[in-house]
Structure 1
Amino acid sequence: MVTEQALFSIPSDGVVRSSKIHRHHIPLFAGKLPNTVAAKRFSAALDRHDWNRNPLIYALRRKRNQRISVRSERRETYDALGTALMANCDYNPDSDHLFEVMCSTEQLAQQTGQLHVDAATGRKTCDPVYKALKDWEDAGIIVVLKGLDPDSRQQKAMRIWIKPEFFAGLGFSVAELREIVNKFRRWLERKGLRETYRDRYSEHLKRLARSNVADITDKHSLKNLLKKIKRHVLGEDAQQQDEKKRIVSDLEQHLIKTEEALSAAPAKEERRYWKLYAAWKAQQPTATSYALENTARQNRPELSVANGEAYWRYLVELIPPVGS
């Protein structure tokens, strides 16, 4: 819903003055919530959440000397934006860091109906979203990475991670959070989506590298913080077990691809000649097979085991007839 009409007041001097527009749009999540248990559970908790009773938001407002009760407009923004974060959050423990919001601030504003485009200039603004993110960053429930573009002297696009404290405010303990993340990993394995999500995360990192987004490369303290959060949620042992499972999974995938390659039509033909020669060689004295292989090297020095089918086929052709 758009409320772009300015409020007018007519003072005693008869001059009409327009007051500042209170807000352009009413916050409402209009994105798509993923069909995963993690996103649905956190979203359902947000629907029941009272931001006035959130201990970290309460502490922040006291620190700022603001009134304790959050205005209804800001609470509506919190609700819509929180759902957008849940919908775009990366719950995959295979990723470098947990709980990254894998979309831009502009996309968050679009999904919450808070992206305003000025009709005259075409300038895009989403101040309510920025203010809400600033509140949450100051309250210590999200991590925001910012950067300055040295050429344009403007702020780069932000990267956002959700901290466990955000979920704690919704009523989730670390143990419950760990259980949800582990269930998400098992769901990926059961659905065969682990590799898909890993590729998705890889594409996300490549997209960030191509875009004007704040770079985490030299932010060592931030990277250490994000690693600490991941260890805190997964647990040291769980993280090590997860890494072992990832390595085993990679090996299994490699073996599957190797077997598929060997079972292809050309490979079957190649193995047929190798089996024929191996069966003959097993019935011969070592000197006989050695002499035949030596003859092959002299007659066709360009052939070797590396040539595969051609090499084994030539050896089979050199096998003397039975009784000769």
Structure 2
Amino acid sequence: MSDSVLTGRPVHRHLIPHFDLKSKNPIAKMLMTHIEKHNFQRNPYLNKMRYAGGVVNLGYSQKILPARTNRLRIEREQTLRETMKALVYCANYKLNSESLFEIKMSVKSLAKQINQLHVSEPTKKYRHGRDNYNPVLNALKDLAAAGLVMLQQNYCVKLKRYQSMRIFITPELFSSLGVNKKTIKKLIHSQHKHDVKSGYDVNKENKAQHLRALVSASIQENDSHALKALKARIKNEFNLPGDIKDIKKKLASLIKNQKSDNAQTEAPQKPQLSAEQQFNRLVVNLNVPAFSIFEIEERVREQHPALDKGSPPYYEAMIKLVKDFHQ
């Protein structure tokens, strides 16, 4: 009899993932409902990543995921579903926070929440046992390669080990679930008004997080360029109210139009050509031969003996003769 019959589970799987916590946050509650109904086999972001492969950018290192079949195994789909539930449950939805959409939890705690933390028996190498949560790590890497989350993990020279991994939800996760970003933005702003009435201070919270990161060397503080770009994008898309964003767009377009109008009005006028330059250009355009120019000069001397050679009236007379000669 096989091991799967004896244990009631596949041989390669230690625990069955499940997430049973219920959130009171309206944003997390709505997202968890969409995740429960979502068909991961038809997720365009995951299908594109599995078909073409992907790159997991960890901030200062990269991991390349090879191309795979688009068909997800049931175990992988279950792990993705429960992991995504835990992510939206633990995410930060505080407006004007420096860590908006960040998961304030370690990967080990995240795996424990979804029943994927397997502690092996003590061995000679691991005398206290070994914590294994590779299914959750693989699920996070798949989501990161698909662009649904961002992972950041730096190496600490002082501790000689990697610091705790930071996880951020990207706006693409909402669109992959069929949730409009305007709906999320509306819920975030309404929750912010309720928090302000309750006495929540955003600046105080940001300062406390910064001091906590300075005290503990295992917490990352320096952001990579990709993370800074993501924070700026989230701030632009979710922190600003819609009316202020429209006003900024109108102002930017007005400033751009005004600059273009000023550039047109203040454009330097082309300097007029001198009589000599006009004559030389006319000779080139009409392809006047040299012997004709000598004849024209003799005529000018005969008709206008008082004109000085090389003066503007002298060249004006020559221009007139050239035009009459080549008409």
Would you say the 8 A contact 2:27–2:184 is kept in 1? no
Aligned equivalent of 2:193:
186
Aligned equivalent of 2:228:
223
Q: Are positions 1:44 and 2:33 aligned together?
A: yes
1:59 alignment partner AA: K
2-structure distance, mates of 1:41, 1:205: 30
2-structure distance, mates of 1:209, 1:113: 32
Aligned equivalent of 1:73:
75
Aligned equivalent of 2:96:
94
Would you say the 8 A contact 1:158–1:213 is kept in 2? no
Would you say the 8 A contact 1:146–1:214 is kept in 2? no
1:73 alignment partner AA: E
Would you say the 8 A contact 2:156–2:218 is kept in 1? no
Distance 1:238 1:182, change over 3 A: farther
Helix, strand or coil at the partner of 1:90: coil
1:60 alignment partner AA: M
Q: CA deviation at 1:198?
A: 5.8
Aligned equivalent of 2:15:
25
Aligned equivalent of 1:7:
3
1:226 alignment partner AA: K
Would you say the 8 A contact 2:31–2:88 is kept in 1? yes
Give the number of the structure with larger relative contact order, counting CA–CA contacts within 8 Å between residues 6 or more apart. 2
Distance 1:198 1:235, change over 3 A: closer
Long gaps (5+) in structure 2: 5-9, 54-66, 246-327
2-structure distance, mates of 1:218, 1:84: 24
1:217-256 mapped onto 2 (5 Å cutoff): 217=222, 219-235=224-240
Aligned equivalent of 2:50:
61
1-structure distance, mates of 2:175, 2:121: 41
Aligned equivalent of 1:149:
156
1:167-186 mapped onto 2 (5 Å cutoff): 167-186=174-193
1:99 alignment partner AA: F
1-structure distance, mates of 2:172, 2:187: 15
2-structure distance, mates of 1:193, 1:171: 34
Would you say the 8 A contact 1:216–1:223 is kept in 2? no
Would you say the 8 A contact 1:27–1:114 is kept in 2? yes
Q: CA deviation at 1:233?
A: 2.5
Q: CA deviation at 1:75?
A: 1.1
Q: Which contiguous aligned blocks of 4+ residues in structure 1 show a shift greater than 4 angstroms?
A: 197-202, 236-240
Q: Are positions 1:166 and 2:173 aligned together?
A: yes
Max Rg structure: 2
What count of residue pairs does the alignment treat as equivalent?
Answer: 222
Aligned equivalent of 2:216:
211
Distance 1:221 1:239, change over 3 A: farther
2-structure distance, mates of 1:112, 1:138: 21
Distance 1:239 1:29, change over 3 A: farther
Distance 1:90 1:44, change over 3 A: same
Sequence identity of aligned pairs in percent?
27
Q: Which 10-residue stretch deviates more, 197-206 or 221-230? A: 197-206
Aligned equivalent of 1:274:
none
Long gaps (5+) in structure 1: 1-5, 9-19, 241-324
1:89 alignment partner AA: A
User: What is the RMSD of the two structures over their aligned residues, measured on CA atoms?
Assistant: 2.7
Scaled by the length of structure 2, what TM-score is found?
Answer: 0.61
Helix, strand or coil at the partner of 1:194: coil
Per-residue Cα deviation, 1:171-206 (whole angstroms, up to 9, x for no partner): 11221221121122123234x0523x7655544444
Q: CA deviation at 1:221?
A: 4.2
Would you say the 8 A contact 2:163–2:220 is kept in 1? no
1-structure distance, mates of 2:33, 2:52: 29
